Copies of this chain bind each other. A is one copy, B any other.
Amino acid sequence: MKPVTLKQIAEILDISVTTVSKALKDYPDVSKKTKGLVRDLAQTLNYKPNEFAVNLRTKESKTIGLIIPEIVHHFFSSVIKGIINQAEKKGYLVIILQSNESYDLEKKQLKLLLNKRVDGILISIANGTADFNHLEEVLRDGKPLVMFDKIAKVVNCSKVIIDDRKAAYNATQHLIDTGCKRIAHFRGPLLPQNSIDRFLGYKKALLDNNIEYDSSLVYICECGDKSFEEGKLNAKKVLEDHSDVDGIFINTDMVAIGAITAFKDLGVKIPEDISIVGFSNWFMSSAITPTLTTINQPGYEMGKKAFKQLYKELKTLKKEKHIIPKIIELETNLVERNTTKPILKN
């Protein structure tokens, strides 16, 4: 019941703890015979090195921390999967915390992880986060920090992102190319960089096509638990406010699916009356009727890349070298489905 220690093995074999330790780690300066003896006994006794002692000596825990705004979310859970799969391959374990989009919680959790002495931190910041001192703190602690998806531009660490502005531009351009003239936008909250960038991409596409930007066509969604309901609600509002709208670029697929549901109930034909482009390529977007045209956002890939970058920095740090922050941008692409019309020939 009580765990076996090196000392016990040493006593049984009547050799030193040093030799046992070396034998188990296959040091070249231990005889084959001794190694065999030690290994066999370790096996029979089911010896497991005490990680706490190892950590204390080596000053690393082979554990990283991950803070994410919301776990029950298809995009984020894909990212998590990418991270832990990759981490496991490299011998790292991942502690996961959920900030619930709250700045206070995020701050507290970051402290928790730092106290726990994880080797590095992966984070996607909360919508509520506008002050970044807690993130700088990680860097001051000398720990690698990699942000992904929801990042803070001003923090000088590595980041794995997509070009939200470009993706949104393409989404909007697609609506224009398929004949839409009066295009609304359901955007995300005001603070997070990606909902700002998606909004700016939308706006730029309009301007580049000589379509006047009308702020009354922009609707805000919190994009929390209620995304689906918000989509329904905003869909109804658009119809009331602007009977001439013929296309909508929507911040996330979940909201888009809410909107589609409402439009179907109200007898609005998609894409004939109103075309819709979503964002994220959640698998339900190919399941709903009509299937949703959307921007494919590679979650699993993003998680994988984020861990890989953190791992690189972990190794750089071990060599006592300086970390040079890197911005990694993943490609997105438009997936054409049935909520938009075919592209007009000209």
Interface residues of A (CB under 8 A from B): 1, 48-53, 55-56, 59, 61, 63, 71-74, 77-78, 80-81, 84-85, 88, 93-98, 109, 112-117, 142, 228, 257-258, 261, 264, 283-284, 287-289
Contact = CB atoms under 8 A, between A and B. Distances in A.
Given A84-B98, A112-B93, A1 B142 contact: yes
A287 to B, nearest CB: 5
B284 A261 contact: no
B93 A287 contact: no
Contacts of A80: 71, 96
A61 B95 CA distance: 13
Q: For A51, A73, A94, which residue has the most chain B Cβ atoms within 10 angstroms?
A: A51
A174 to B, nearest CB: 25
A48 B289 contact: no
B78 A116 contact: no
Given A93-B116, A228-B287, A98 B85 contact: yes
17 contacts: A48-B114, A48-B117, A51-B115, A51-B116, A52-B61, A52-B117, A63-B95, A63-B116, A71-B81, A72-B74, A72-B81, A73-B77, A81-B98, A88-B109, A93-B97, A257-B287, A288-B288
